[in-house]
Structures are given as structure tokens and as C-alpha cells.
Amino acid sequence: MEVIEYGQAITLEIGQSEADAISETSALWRRRLKLKEPPFRLTQLSHNKYNLEARGVAGFIRIGNLTLEIAPKFLNHDTAGPNWRSAMWRFLAYGRGIEALSQTSGHTGVEEGIADVVADMFLMSLKGASTRGYPLGYKSHRLNSSFVSGRLDPKKYSNLLPVTGKLGIITSQLTSDISTNRLLKWAGLELARLVESPDRRKRLNLWVSELPNVSPIPPRLDQIPSLSHQYPHLVQAVEIGKLLLDDKETSYASGDISLPGFLWDSDDLFERATRRLLSESARPLGLNVSKRGHILAKTIHTDKEALTHTTPDIDVWSGEHSIFIVDSKYKNLGRNPSNEDFYQILAAGRVRSVPTVALLYPATGTGITDRFYNPQGSGCPMTVLVTTIGLESFTSRTQIRLLRNEVTNWINKAISIPTP
């Protein structure tokens, strides 16, 4: 069932226990993602009839027998057409810094679910992996042996006497049961459980059989090594596994609710994606991009210096000097930005004496649009750019490249605006 973030509510006919599960799940995801408000708003209309709204999140989730696809406000079937899921996936991958995946496209049907889109990419990235090979590693193994191979097992020292002709030893054995393969197997099984297509489920389970001696228990993310040099053909599959593991199924003691699938904070993802976009676009100009705090004001209180700070989302700098500051805002841009948005970017521009600052908003469509505001009074900043980015620019590699070039020109124009 498809729900549009901040969109019109959908009507559900469910029992009280299912309604309670949705409410509890909403509270758990709010804590997990550190959201300002619950991601799901459930309003009872009558007996067993409810309205459900999604706010501030997008992704895929299953609660009991209810499967929900939460489409971003600016990337859904109504705004981006039948390929909205692929566009949403690339935007997620781009914002997470996963270059290989943001350039990948699957062969799923236009009406298939998010989990099926991800599963198709996963299977594509593993095509031919059985012939090109999976990584191997060494694992400690305890056994009793007539030969000394490896080292003596300290736990078996008490068995050295009387002599039995067998020694307890610890030896290293070459194995495929290592963190990378465990991640891949777990991801394959997880996707097989989530997909809607029986054929794709069968293909996933068939692929899992290629790793018969590998445990399906996933490792910790920090245990997974980089594969870019030795096993480059597995990089994309591992990135998908990491993404799923980062948002993996979590069980809570309270009601023991299971949360399969993945959700993400739209505000945070838009900020990540725009910072990466500006970083890549500023590089040809010899500029750097980061997120760093600046002292906004100082005061002396009870003989101690107290500071307040401002931390704009995107700080474009050359050498040690900020030359352009941008704040990203995941919200609808009305006729004019809100006063609060203006105050925030004006404060950041003032403390760094930056002549031009910008507010960045998402929009439907492709490319960027711009308009100028001139703050009244003296001092910096003297120009505020109010800019929108069409998120449909993430529907293909070509569109992303065109958007990057367009943003490079936009940055160059912004830092070249003459001062009065």
C-alpha cells in the first residue's frame, strides 16, 4: 500500500490490535530516527476504520500483515511518473554516499515495490559472482590431533597427562564463513522475505545456496572490510547489504514488535544529498565543502566566556575562508521563504562576512531554479539566493551529471556576484 509523505491520508480497515501495533511502531521509529514528531499519524474515523498519514520519512516497512511504501513528497508516482521508485532509490543511495548504487538501475516493472527494486539490483550485482569468486579467510578451529599443527590449546593443558597420543590444538582453517559472505547471505535472505515477486524470491533463494557453509547471522558493520581492490565485482552487493544492515530488523521487548524494511529521515537525507552534490560541483572550481560550526556571539557571564554557535548545512570555502554558505530545507517553498529560514541563513552569512548566501529547497521536475533577495541594511550578506532542486534529476546517471554541471555554474555565479 502506497502512502505519500505529507500527502493525503489513506483509509485502513483494521482492528484495535493492528492500530496499536502501528502506533507503537511509529513511536519506536521516532526514537530510532530521532524525529521531531511520530512518522505515522493514525486517526480513528469509526469502529475499525482509520486514516493513516506519513510525515518526515520515506521507505518501506511491514507491520504485521500491512505492507507500506512511503514515497517522498517530491518523488512519487504523481510527481515523477512510473519510475519514481528507481529515482527514489538513487536519491537514497546518493545521499548515503553510495556512488556505485546511485549509478545502478534494475529491470523491475514500473509497479513493483521498493523491496523488489532493491532485490533486482542486488541480484544484478551478483551476476557471475560464483565464477569470479567469493572472499576467503582464516578461522580458528579447536580439535584433538595426533600431530602438532598450529598451537596448543590452553584449555586442554590439563589433558596432557597421562599421555593419550592426542593433543588439544588450535589451528587456522581456510573458510568462506567470513563477515563479507555472512552479510551477503543475510541480505539475500532478508530480501527474499520482503519481495513481492515469487520469481524474484526463488532467484534469491537459489543464489543463497551458493554459500552453503556460510552462517546467515550478519556481522557488525565495522567488521566488513573494503572489497574495492580484491573483489570489485562484489562492491555493489555489499553496499546494498550494508544499507539493509544499517536499517536491519529490530526487535523490542515492549510487545516484541518486528520492524523489517527500512525508513529514513527525509530532512537528514536531503541535507546529505545536497552537501554531496555541492561538494562534487565545487571541486572543478578548486573549492571545498564541509559542515562546520561558527561562533555566532560571545558574552561574559560570572567571569566565564560563553559562546553561541551557528552551523550551516553547507560551507563552501577556499583556503581557510568561507566564500558561500548554503542551508538546505526539506519543505515546500511557498511564495517566499519563512522569516525563520531567512534569519538562520543571514546569521550564518554575517558571522563569516560572506556576501552571498543561499537557501536550498527540493522541488518536482529536474534542474535548478533561482531567485534573488536583497536584505535591507548594511553589512553582509548582501544577496540571498532562494534555489530549488528538482529531485527527478536523480532518475538517471545522465541527469545526475547534468545537475552537477548546472550546480557548478550556479556556485560560480553565486561567488561572482558583484558587491555594491
User: What DSSP element (H or E) covers 369?
Assistant: strand 368-373
Confidence (pLDDT) at 105: 47
Residue 210 CA to residue 223 CA, distance in Å, equals: 22
Confidence (pLDDT) at 252: 34
Looking at the 3D structure of the chain, how many domains does it have?
Answer: 3
Domain co-membership, 168 together with 273:
no
Residue 330 CA to residue 351 CA, distance in Å, equals: 24
How far from 61 is each of 8, 40, 67, 238, CA to CA, in Å? 19, 12, 6, 21
The pLDDT-based confidence of 149 (bands split at 50, 70, 90) is low
Mean of pLDDT values over 259-279:
85
Domain co-membership, 146 together with 36:
no
Residue 376 falls within a domain, yes or no? yes
Confidence (pLDDT) at 56: 92
Q: What is the DSSP string of 327-366?
A: EE--S---SS--HHHHHHHHHHHHHTT-SEEEEEEEESSS
Final residue belonging to a domain, choices 95, 125, 158: 95
Confidence (pLDDT) at 294: 82
Domain co-membership, 295 together with 401:
yes
Question: Is the Cβ–Cβ distance between 194 and 174 less than 8 Å?
Answer: no
Question: Is the Cβ–Cβ distance between 3 and 69 less than 8 Å?
Answer: yes
Residue 347 falls within a domain, yes or no? yes
Domain co-membership, 311 together with 365:
yes
Instruction: Return the amino acid letter for 170.
Output: I
Domain co-membership, 71 together with 148:
no
Domain co-membership, 90 together with 144:
no
Confidence (pLDDT) at 378: 84
pLDDT, tens digit, for every residue of 326-360?
A: 999 999 888 899 999 999 999 999 988 899 999 99
Residue 211 falls within a domain, yes or no? no
Question: Is the Cβ–Cβ distance between 119 and 298 less than 8 Å?
Answer: no
Nearest 5°: phi and psi at 253? -65, -35
Question: Is the Cβ–Cβ distance between 313 and 329 less than 8 Å?
Answer: no
Final residue belonging to a domain, choices 73, 95, 117: 95
Structural domain of residue 141, as residue ranges?
Answer: 137-175
Question: Is the Cβ–Cβ distance between 316 and 288 less than 8 Å?
Answer: yes
Residue whose cell numbers read 547489504: 241
Task: Please give the DSSP secondary-structure letter assigned to residue 258.
Answer: B
Domain co-membership, 25 together with 149:
no
**Is the Cα torsion angle 29, 34, 40, 41 positive or negative in sign?**
positive
Residue 218 CA to residue 122 CA, distance in Å, equals: 16
Domain co-membership, 293 together with 377:
yes
Final residue belonging to a domain, choices 175, 201, 233: 175
- Domain of 341, CATH number, reads 3.40.1350
Domain co-membership, 149 together with 86:
no
Q: What is the DSSP string of 178-246?
A: SHHHHHHHHHHHHHHHH-S-HHHHHHHHHHHTT-TTS-SS---GGG----TTT-GGGHHHHHHHHHHHH
Residue 411 falls within a domain, yes or no? yes
Domain co-membership, 276 together with 372:
yes
**Residue-wise burial string across 25-63, b where 16 or more C-beta atoms lie within 10 A, e elsewhere:** bbbbbbeebebeebbbebeeeeeeebebbbbbbbbbbbb
pLDDT, tens digit, for every residue of 157-206?
A: 666 667 666 767 666 667 888 888 999 999 999 889 878 788 999 999 99
Domain co-membership, 294 together with 344:
yes
Q: CB atoms < 10 A from the CB of 413, how many?
A: 12
Lowest pLDDT segment from 109-113, 277-281, 389-393: 109-113
Residue 407 falls within a domain, yes or no? yes
Residue 81 CA to residue 392 CA, distance in Å, equals: 10
Domain co-membership, 145 together with 283:
no
Residue 303 falls within a domain, yes or no? yes
Confidence (pLDDT) at 335: 86
Residue 332 falls within a domain, yes or no? yes
